Chains A and B, each alone.
Chain A
């Protein structure tokens, strides 16, 4: 079974600075998808960024980017120019590309605090 590990329960960053959240996963498959979701205090789960394992290029969405290292099974999230609104729980998630649709496997999350 696939597992996702987020080794940093909590992180903090100064406003306008850069922070990197770590995620590793375990799988025997060669093709899969990886996601970062944000959960603010409202508890709404919001997709931040996604990465297809077959793509070597790291995904980028505005201030958010990933460092995808397939051989190392590592998928870290970098937040640049951190803003107060970035404060939230961040979940790394894995998904296999089987035919039809498949569920997400989540890490335990990292709580990010942004200091003004």
Chain B
């Protein structure tokens, strides 16, 4: 299995630009999670999906952030417009969808907004 795939691995953009992060979960996994990691706040949940349906987006910082999961094998996290404080590592994780099962993380996308 290829594991969770994220692209791009690194993204450098200028303030005000639109940024789209992509994630392909492990085949057969029903749950997908987007986390953000910063020095100040550590690892925090942004949003998660069960069976392609958003369940909890309370961690999304503001309206500039949006996430979609059009099918079981693809999700996007979009930031528009981006700001320097959005600079962070963004992780996607997936799991089977059973209570308490293991979440498998992608390699993360390091986003730098200048």
In the bound complex, residues from chain B placing their C-beta under 8 Å from that of A37 are: 105
In the bound complex, residues from chain B placing their C-beta under 8 Å from that of A56 are: none
Number of residues of chain A lying within 8 A (CB) of chain B: 27
The chain A residue sitting closest to B42, CB to CB, is A108
Q: Could you mark each residue 23-49 of chain A with 1 if its beta carbon is under 8 Å from any beta carbon of chain B, else 0?
A: 000000000110101000011111100
Q: Is the CB of A100 within 8 A of B43?
A: no
Residue among A52, A95, A104 with most chain B CB within 10 A: A104
Compute how far the CA of A102 lies from the CA of B44 in the bound complex, rounded to whole angstroms: 13
- Asked whether any CB of chain A lies closer than 8 Å to the CB of B66, the reply is no
In the bound complex, residues from chain B placing their C-beta under 8 Å from that of A102 are: 99
A-B contact count (CB 8 A): 62
- Asked whether any CB of chain A lies closer than 8 Å to the CB of B102, the reply is yes
Contact-size category for B: 20 to 34
Interface pick from B11-19, B48-56, B67-75: B48-56
- Asked whether any CB of chain A lies closer than 8 Å to the CB of B1, the reply is no
CB contact under 8 A between A101 and B105, given known A45-B91, A109-B42: no
- Can you name 9 A-B residue pairings with CB atoms under 8 Å? A45-B93, A91-B43, A97-B99, A97-B100, A101-B95, A103-B56, A105-B45, A106-B42, A109-B43
- Residues on A lying within 8 angstroms of B by beta carbon are 32-33, 35, 37, 42-47, 50, 52, 91, 95, 97-109
